[in-house]
Structure 1
Amino acid sequence: MLKMLESSAQDAEVVCRELDCGTPVQVLGAAAFDKGDSQMWTQEIQCRGNESQIHLCPTSPSHENNCSHDNDVGLVCAEIIHVRLVNGNSPCSGTVEVLHRGQWGTVCDVGWDLADAAVVCRELDCEEPVDALSDAHVGLESGPVWMNNAMCAGSESTLKKCGSVIWGFQGVCQSKSAGIICSGVRLVGGSRCSGRLEILHDQTWMSVCDAVFDQQDAEVVCRELDCGAPVQVLGAAAFDKGDAQMWTQEIQCRGNESQIHLCPTSLPHKYNCSHDNDVGLVCADRVNVRLVGGNSRCAGRVEVLHRGQWGTVCDAAWDMPDAAVVCRELDCGEPVDAVGDAYFGPGSGPIWTNPMMCTGSETTLKNCGSVLLYEYDCNHNTDAGVICSGVRLVEGSRCSGRLEILHDQTWMSVCDAVFDQQDAEVVCRELDCGAPVQVLGAAAFDKGDAQMWTQEIQCRGNESQIQMCPALEKHNCSHDDHQMLQCADVMHVRLVNGNSPCAGRVEVLHRGQWGTVCDSSWDMPAAAVVCRELDCGEPVDALGLAHFGQGSGPIWMSLLTCLGTESTLKNCGSGGWNKPLCTHNHDAGVICSGE
């Protein structure tokens, strides 16, 4: 623990610089931040003030002062912001610049996406990202390009904490700076697209009086928040009173502006407004993703609405976590398959996203990160698609429970009188749960409160989805007659050619066929998922180069990115299904402890 007697302004300069916290504000003695319990530093520090680290400062022999923890030194640094927006039309839009090594520089637009923009908006207290701009849309900058291929998850507190392929990058990204547009408005006390309106002005969030806000203003706010059209403008503090300052100018939008800060304003309004008059707003909250070309609402080519135009998604690195986000966003149950190669036909228009990097927990596909793969050429022959289940089993496990079917965006219970063994075959297959074990009636998993499915299902048993089965007209049923189902829940991974059930070449079951896994990026977290899935204890080794012999058939997975906590290997990120980066000479293997 350092003591006040050894501290000086020069020492403080070095410590604040080393911590990337700007300049020192105050050096405090007398244990201002409480007494420590560590050993005492016995040498006197003699920094000149220009060192990059405290350990580079000269020190003298042991000091003569008899110091105790009553003299522990404290330090307050300025904690400067390390990101800024320049050349925009508001404090919350512009070219992104990062402070690094004491110099401001730009961010390369390679791989720049809404997840990266979300971090910058949050760091600057600018609310939600509206757009992630590339190719110097907001101005060409000079100076160093500090970041290339930012890889934010979207939850980081600062852009510097995001992954980046290269810091101090120079060369390929000439004159292509990343930019962002943050909303500068927010709706609080409700949902993402409804609530009390607040506007950011001079770094302060301010409430808006209902007397100065009209339908044209609402059009702009809903558009800026990517929430569709306004449904209702509410006054009289409909979403409770705020405690922010009151906005004192009258907003005069024409209704076609992209941001509220682009609207003209008049001088301070004549109305005597208080928080009793806080304006609230309800927007439509439109869906920004859709599935096209499939045989149901929950299957098809993935298309994303961005800048008012629908475009497709590249299938490079398109995997089950990405599909899970789309299925959840559309309220379509669990993902059955993540398909590529324009499985549902090629789209048209822009290809909006680079290869996706979803964890599977995001609320919308736009919140996922993406990364540019230089070796992958995306075109409409590589459009991504998804098949969601459209059925689910509730009140049980993943493969057992009360059956519900999605119809016209509503989950509906199924009557046991209209459901038989052939129907069960299809449902279990659709959920990737193997064969049906038991078909149960009489609300074996408790009664549900969903609407009742009124048609009789007549599957032949070989359909891939329940929505493809013929159905007859209405059938009378009550909630006492809910259909219950238990499927086998087959294993989707196995170990082959090892000397025990818990060691061998990794093989994955996909689309009814076993295939291998490429050893590119194969590591211990991935091995941990396999060992857990097979109830084989802890991972001992993650092996490559066909250690357990070469497999045959498809190489289903490459470039795995497991955290190690996933319940199944299929839930890990990957380079996409059946897009091998290796041959069977590089089949992955694993050795588990077996305990």
Structure 2
Amino acid sequence: MLALWSISFVLLCSWRLSYAQYEHLGFAIAYQEPEQDLYTPPELPADTPRIQLRLAGEKRKHNEGRVEVFYEGEWGTVCDDDFTIHAAQVICRELGYFEAISWSPSSKYGKGEGRIWFDNVHCKGKEKSLAQCESNGIGVSDCKHSEDVGVVCSDKRIPGFKFVNTLTNNINSLNIQVEDVRIRPILASYRKRIPVTEGYVEVKDGGKWKQICDDEWTQMNSRVICGMFGFPGQKRYNTRVYKMFARRRKPSYWDYTINCTGKEAHLSSCTLGHTLSNSTCEEGTPVVVSCIPGRAFAPTPMTGYKKAFRQEQPLVRLRGGAVVGEGRVEVLKNGEWGTICDDNWNLLAATVVCRELGFGSAKEALSGGQLGQGMGPVHMNEVQCSGFEKSVTECSFNMEKDSEGCSHEEDAGVKCNVPAMGFQQRLRLSGGRNPFEGRVEVLVERNGSLVWGTVCGEGWTTMEAMVVCRQLGLGFASNAFQETWYWPGAVNADAVVMSGVRCAGTEMSLSHCLHHGEYLSCPKGGGRFAAGVSCSETAPDLVLNPQVVEQTTYLEDRPMFMLQCAYEENCLASTSSATPANSPRRLLRFSSQIHNNGQSDFRPKISRENWVWHDCHRHYHSMEVFTHYDLLSTNGTKVAEGHKASFCLEDSECDEGIEKRYECANFGEQGITVGCWDTYRHDIDCQWVDITDVKPGDYIFQIVINPNYEVAESDYTNNIVKCRCRYDGHRIWMYNCHIGGSFSAETEDTFPGLINNQVTHR
């Protein structure tokens, strides 16, 4: 009998892979961006001073930094006096970025050196060069470098941008400014591979793709290029075949060579080499790179892995990110996972983290707990890396005061460059009111051609929706829909092409999930019963406080006649049905304090008209299965009949400066605000485990919150608390309570048979 379930292989489509595919798509297929005017190089009046610009300093992404001006053979800065967003716009446009996002005064990116070339700058925003803006005059300033201005430019580059060099010498001081970069596969064997790992390095300048002369090209240059495209390392390649190809087809070279140190996260931070004479590469050939992909992205088993990856116990991990290669940085120290404080956190350190984890260089070094707050200790502060460390744990940091002055509000994070796998092109949302919602439509191969179709809505859950939102780069799932009659999708895509989808929630593509394969089974059909999703850029993250559980545990013998309400709600063991009214049940009682450390409020899945009234608690419960309480033997076997506790969700307390938004009284709105926590006290009915029938011994106590993944969270791995406990028949001791996954694998192994809330196939 043929197995119904199968894991499908990734469709290998020949999609054009360029740097643009590394940016998140701003609009879905039905929401195209407006066309932009083609760029024309500026023609400056003869009396305008010739300057060049760059973004320098302590960056957290490549398109931001301290504004530096090259004039008369010397780099200098710009003062923040009278500076406005209009001046920032002129600077960003001059550097080839589409627009300015913001600007920062008071040397946010560190103090510069040399002259302060511009002060009291007044721009209208339409000038072609900063030198055309009104100012005190070039070199006339009463500022100090503590007033150096910085800007943040958009990721998007100006279409058709062409680098214009106004200098006759000192060009090796200039950063590289081009519209786009790509690795173009040349050999037939690499054209069919996804991701593209080997080929010509080409830059787009003036709207045309051009090769780079390999004169003075180094492995450090290759390291930077591979890092930009999501690869942690590079390797040697067969030079003979590329020389033969270059002789057959005359290359079109860019006017300059390139110099990188290997520490750069992006080509724009490298400097120009020498100018090619007549745009020819006399004895050389076009630059070729051959990159080593991370294990998760490798098309086939490849050599060179041992050089690119650490095989032993990982010392670094990412948590709380919406997509692969993004998250809060956590490091393992003394057997316990902790976070990194964002003091001095920059692209250099972030790139070390990304490469260590099998990704490329860092797109952005995140600060301020932007991807949610961690738990446990802050292990590292003021991290300083050279850029060539194998692990961020090898970088220097504040040894004496690891976490003094740091809180989890300052947790550092990263966004890494990952290879372009073409996943976004095989999935779309159709019919929604905005690009973040709609009916799910997938591209599959049928009878030798690619067709769009729907996914069967039967059994569609939050886990599957999370994968869809991740695949499209739209963040987290906020809702999963089994019917989409209100979202009319493409008429020619109504047919069901995928059914029985079951995801673990961690896959990069919906095609990686378990599903029926070619043997479709969807009784209701597609159309109005097709699966749909709505996505959100943020998500909540619930974390149970283990110390509160440990500190509030005690035993109570309670007579059965006082437990009738709890008995009706199935909060007691099954043997309680035969217990006389005056006989006691022994209850293991404790408090639960559940924090929301995420980026958005935790709200119940069902609407308030479907909430259930509970006589025991005298309020409405918005989630019937919110927690699981279990007592297990040391080998993981249940020894006490745990139960599924329902909750009314409200803000019991909040961090300083945060206002409560949810309360259970008077049929109020339910949820847990970011920065607040919901406390279910030990003296509330059903806040216990019935251990009447448990014999004395050593056990493991386990609590799991949001166990059925009904509500999307940024991290499910921290939804479990485990404790060791000893029961002597009269007293109970609770100790070693901790969040699942907060300790090293060796420590977790001392809790055999336990789940650690890693999402698994259901």
TM-score, normalized by length of structure 1? 0.34
Higher normalized contact order (CA 8 Å, seq sep 6+, divided by chain length): 2
TM-score, normalized by length of structure 2? 0.28
Q: Which has the higher strand share?
A: 1
